[in-house]
Chain A
């Protein structure tokens, strides 16, 4: 006890010494000022007086990483939500509408029945031995559950699987990819992951060696990319999408940004393309995709193709083509282009975010590199089995003639057509607002309207020490309960301001949202409209 008290006294003494000097955590001159014998039989006194894990001493890459989708504005929204519960009537709205995050089932979208039937049977296979099960589950769901369980050794869904995911499920996914694209896919190229995000992280880890390694990312982008690059200590090389041309991707812009980065001695390693885009929603034309493939080949870049919204296409004149399909149709085989394609169970018409299911298909890499990917995957053992099963269902849904086919198609069509209607309704609503222009959402789940804010508003934002779009988003939240993400969270051309809203609120709430939005915006403009404008 006495020894402890002495140690503590020493620590306090040393602590006060150190706090008056600059914070240095390396051994050095400071130690010579300290009154203890280095040869004492007691435990050597720690020279490091800050507790090991403070904000000053954590990994700086963690501090640099930002993720606006669940950032400041969302924390504020959660506080308001609590206030609504504890003090009803304290705000001019009675619910918070989370339009900040692509989380469909949190806003009332129903899961696909067939998928959930199969998952429930796989979770509790004892059901398959009971007669009553036939009354509660469709026969093709039962058959599919048997099929899947037979792919799993001992039908043990609670066991760690192969680190790339269960082989039979990967084979089913490979078949699904081949059917989608018309070109073969290989189960050994597939890595099943807890959502697409961990797969993106894995690739960044592999690619980024130092801050001199750059990754080309679209601006605006989904901030997983900027966050992951920061976490791994790399350099984000931006390429701007053209708002005036429907968020088009210009090869000229890519070439220019690449050249600029190289003059700064950045080694650009990969190109991220999000298709359909997030937050921008554009669906690339085939022509555009071919240019991108050629660009990557010529410049020796890995193509990271985020294709998680492949089933969310609303424009009649647009179609999803995977980059794999495009590159194969150009005559490029597996060895000609390193291409990583990401897919997820979180989006599409299935919207199963909470399951954390997804995969990356890795082509054009040598086997020793794939071994390294496998090795990193193996440290986490495997992704969750339920998510793996769901990935195989998404890539291999009911077919014509299956018992569940008609109800499955009805559910799917209803969700997709509703999404298209909501996209249109909200796009029109934003475009009807004074000083707001909004590109069409050709795909994905978001709208990214541009706010041409009056000078007065910009000054008010400055005074409040926030970016103008964050200021607008905050005012919108406080007035209406609607949560959107400021454009600065995604990147935008400097001096322009946007917000990202999802198209996901339930269809029956859309009219009320639109009228509240309009009312807010009119009042906002009345408050901040530049003088002399009619």
Chain B
């Protein structure tokens, strides 16, 4: 009998090529173990609320009121909700035609896009046009939309950092394009090396690849590095010279744990540089409600902003957005609240600030605890998490360990991470899921476990690691501290 359409062999090959390790083998194994009753600490995905971070109060109050507008008519509503939450709910409801249950404009509610534009202007000092801001069901959808617009066939290449967040590699596979890697330099704090980037581009071109776009993730995922102003300038110049559209994934812009390199948006630098670059370089910037100190992953709220894209292209992107009708309205409201939070003088302002600061300060402390913890382990070297939510230690696996991995048909870092999981319940993602240099191994974990549990987790890791190294070493290993 001939293969049926949805037999495995008759599936779209591009689908089969997709790999997304964040919810891949390790996660599936961890879920199995959890079902068997083992305590698992999920550090595979940047999912703060799943690890005990509480939602901010104000946005939840506002959205609850928007969900149930009959509450606003009740005389007792003031007993349960502060006046500014009530006012804000009315404000957002008035932006809609029919409340949360109606499809909005396919680009998102104009009122919220205006709030986003105002936020961008305050942040960067340059005006932003709401018509060039499209809200999406999470930033990932926006990234997928843009890559689908750019990639025509397998000869279109996208420059992607290695290591990278595998949304990019997965999406490029899905849409049949080519991933052109550029390696971040681990010894230079995951810095950029333009000579190597140019080499990558030249190699790709020699294979007949048209390099169309460059992805930067700032702050980096999984690497956490924060780009300097000079870095971004150089990137923009590079894109100008090489005629690339810059895709700036800036979803971690609120997660900064050092003070030397605060977040500066690519757009701000673009305009600082003046013409011709400011008028020529095409840029798409992405943001979300899932990260920062909000961590509202489950709401699926995000946006992208387009700069220097011709109107016809914007129309085509709008057209495709309209096929999905509209982004979810509650998620849009979360986004509006994120870019337009309570102000000094508002009733909820103090509580909002206290809650936000607590999250950010704790994340900063945890970034240090984790980095230091990894660096105290045998054969483990870890760059500091300057930003974002992850730690990406390098695990120097002894040759015997690599052999043992080969024997069971696993990549060495997968082997290590599976053993780590079985021994400690810590569920990480092997570095191969993000890309790394040949023969160099890492794992990615988040810095999100509760602060009070961190010391125990790091101790548990160290015990496992040092025993593992003991077991597999035949020569002296080293640790940084």
Q: Is residue B208 contacting chain A, with contact meaning CB distance below 8 A?
A: yes
Knowing A26-B208, A53-B150, A356-B137, the reply to whether A70 touches B106 (Cβ < 8 A) is yes
Interface string of B268-305 (1 = CB under 8 A from A): 00000000110010100000001000011111100000
Interface size for A (C-beta < 8 A) is: 108
Q: Which of B104, B290, B313, B325 contacts A197 (CB 8 A)?
A: B325
Q: With A and B bound together, what is the CA distance between A132 and B75 in angstroms? A: 12
Interface residues of B in 146-184 (CB under 8 A from A): 148-152, 155, 167, 170-171, 174-175
Knowing A52-B212, A105-B102, A136-B71, the reply to whether A58 touches B316 (Cβ < 8 A) is yes
Q: Is residue B130 contacting chain A, with contact meaning CB distance below 8 A?
A: no
Q: Is residue B243 contacting chain A, with contact meaning CB distance below 8 A?
A: yes
Q: Is residue A381 contacting chain B, with contact meaning CB distance below 8 A?
A: yes
Contacts of A197 in B (CB 8 A): 323-325
Q: With A and B bound together, what is the CA distance between A51 and B241 in angstroms? A: 11
Q: Of the 9-residue stretches B327-335, B360-368, B416-424, B459-467, which lies at the interface with chain A? A: B327-335
A107 nearest in chain B by CB position: B98
From residue B307, how far is it (CB to closest CB) to chain A in Å?
11
Interface string of A182-219 (1 = CB under 8 A from B): 00000000000011011001000111110000000000
Is B323's CB under 8 angstroms from A48's CB? Answer: no
Q: Of the 9-residue stretches B52-60, B349-357, B425-433, B437-445, which lies at the interface with chain A? A: B52-60
Q: Is residue B358 contacting chain A, with contact meaning CB distance below 8 A?
A: no
Q: Is residue B455 contacting chain A, with contact meaning CB distance below 8 A?
A: no
Q: Is residue A444 contacting chain B, with contact meaning CB distance below 8 A?
A: no
Q: With A and B bound together, what is the CA distance between A131 and B468 in angstroms? A: 54
Is B242's CB under 8 angstroms from A46's CB? Answer: yes
Contacts of A280 in B (CB 8 A): none
Q: Of the 9-residue stretches B2-10, B217-225, B385-393, which lies at the interface with chain A? A: B2-10
Contacts of A221 in B (CB 8 A): none
Is A354's CB under 8 angstroms from B213's CB? Answer: no
Q: Is residue A151 contacting chain B, with contact meaning CB distance below 8 A?
A: no
Q: With A and B bound together, what is the CA distance between A43 and B199 in angstroms? A: 10
From residue A247, how far is it (CB to closest CB) to chain B in Å?
24
Q: Is residue B103 contacting chain A, with contact meaning CB distance below 8 A?
A: yes
Contacts of B141 in A (CB 8 A): 380
Contacts of A194 in B (CB 8 A): 137, 300, 324, 328
Q: With A and B bound together, what is the CA distance between A104 and B49 in angstroms? A: 34
Is B299's CB under 8 angstroms from A228's CB? Answer: no
Q: Is residue B264 contacting chain A, with contact meaning CB distance below 8 A?
A: no
Is B103's CB under 8 angstroms from A353's CB? Answer: yes
Is A369's CB under 8 angstroms from B8's CB? Answer: yes
Q: Is residue A375 contacting chain B, with contact meaning CB distance below 8 A?
A: yes
From residue A192, how far is it (CB to closest CB) to chain B in Å?
12
Main SS of the interface on chain B? helix
Is A207's CB under 8 angstroms from B299's CB? Answer: no
Knowing A116-B67, A206-B11, the reply to whether A58 touches B23 (Cβ < 8 A) is no
Knowing A46-B243, A65-B323, A386-B328, the reply to whether A159 touches B15 (Cβ < 8 A) is no
B242 nearest in chain A by CB position: A46
From residue B153, how far is it (CB to closest CB) to chain A in Å?
9
Q: Is residue A251 contacting chain B, with contact meaning CB distance below 8 A?
A: no
Is B148's CB under 8 angstroms from A59's CB? Answer: yes
A54 nearest in chain B by CB position: B310
B156 nearest in chain A by CB position: A59
Contacts of B300 in A (CB 8 A): 194, 356, 382-384
Contacts of B238 in A (CB 8 A): 43
Is B328's CB under 8 angstroms from A124's CB? Answer: no
Contacts of B137 in A (CB 8 A): 194, 356, 383-384
A-B contacts, 12 of them at CB < 8 A, read A4-B276, A55-B310, A59-B175, A65-B320, A156-B49, A156-B50, A159-B48, A197-B325, A201-B324, A356-B137, A372-B11, A381-B297
The 6 closest A-B pairs by CB, nearest first: A124-B64, A354-B329, A385-B298, A120-B68, A106-B102, A159-B50
Seen from chain B, the residues whose Cβ lies within 8 Å of a Cβ on chain A are 2, 4-8, 10-16, 18-20, 22-24, 45, 47-50, 52, 55, 57, 60-61, 63-65, 67-71, 74, 76-77, 79-80, 96-104, 106, 137-138, 140-141, 144, 148-152, 155, 167, 170-171, 174-175, 198, 201-202, 205, 208, 210, 212-213, 237-238, 240-245, 276-277, 280, 282, 290, 295-300, 308-310, 312-313, 316-317, 319-320, 322-331
